[in-house]
Amino acid sequence: MLGIHYLKAGPTQYVLHYQNGRIRHSGPGAAFYYYKPAATIAVIPIGSADVPFIFNETTADFQPITVQGQLTYRITDPELVAGLLDFTIAGDVDQYASEDPEKLGQRLVNLVQVATRAEVQKRPLRSAIHASDEITSDILAQIQQNPALPALGVNILTLSILAIKPAPDTARALEAEARESFLRQADEAIYDRRNAAVEQERRIKENELNTELAVEAKNRQIREAKAEADLAVEQKQQQIRESQLAGQIRLEESRKELVAARAKNIRTEAEAQTFVTQASLRPLQELDNETRQLLAMQSAEPRLMVTMALKELAQNASKIGQLNISPDLLESLLQK
């Protein structure tokens, strides 16, 4: 009514109320009445804003890629921005009279594209695809050092590169190469696993052989120790037998000496008895045969005397013509 309106902005909206070339109201979240025919109101959003972007660039090896990302910025000098672009509203606080508010985000995207092109063209395709974080850091550093950014009255909060994609044909080629590489790695892994299994089997066999060798060595040591023990026992037994044999030899030598002494004694006794006998018989030996026979007849028994008589007759048989011997005499001679 009568051209008087009421305006109320939000906390993230910076309001500039111009009337007759002067600023009547300014600040975030302002609320006031104004006379519309004489008032010009600019509302600058000072909250953070997201601007998506997508670029088609070429790498250092002349391969096309697509860079997709998002830029987040915030207006830090609303009055400067209001002097560069037209943020005048046409009624409501969100209804602008021109398309200038959209140009601010586009100008920032242009700065990002220039920096992105410079970074991408430094790298070949493979490096560019895998260096998104490094490229993001370099682009953000270049933008923040660009003097055009303070002139726009904004501050870059974050910059994110969501994807760096090659052309479809190139992507399929890289996928095929990567797939072949993965297949080769899988084959190598299978071979390595087989080799590892063979190596493990060889180690197991070696351990078994080493165990058998160790067991055989222990058995050999046991046999050697047993042989040494048997040899020691045999040596002891040999020493015992030698000692026994030496004792027997000494005993036999003692017996030999004893026998020799006994034989000597017996021989001495025999010689003594012989001497005594010879001495006692020497007078008889000196007698003649007839005297010895007469001495023998004196103490002989009748049969001996008869025998000696018959012997005497036999010696003088040539002188005897006929000799008669009675059976009684022969019977008496044959009886004991």
Angle between helix 302-315 and 327-334 (nearest 10): 120
How far, in Å, CA of 41 to CA of 25, rounded?
Answer: 9
Of 175, 112, 110, 173, the closest CA to residue 141 belongs to 112
How many CB atoms neighbour CB 158 within 10 A? 12
pTM of this prediction? 0.54
* CA distances (Å), origin 97, targets 41, 64, 209: 10, 39, 94
Could you identify the residue written with the tokens 């190469």?
177
Q: Write down the pLDDT at residue 329.
A: 67
* Three-state secondary structure call for residue 75: strand
CATH code of 4-166, in short, is 3.30.479.30
Domains in the chain: boundaries: 4-166
Helices (H), the chain: 78-84, 100-120, 125-129, 132-145, 148-152, 168-285, 289-298, 302-315, 327-334
What is the mean pLDDT, run by run of 10 residues, along the chain of 336 residues?
Answer: 82 90 88 87 92 93 92 93 90 85 92 93 89 91 90 92 89 82 87 89 90 91 90 88 86 84 84 79 65 60 69 68 69 66
How many CB atoms neighbour CB 254 within 10 A? 10
Beta-bridge mates of residue 89: 96
Q: Write down the pLDDT at residue 110.
A: 93
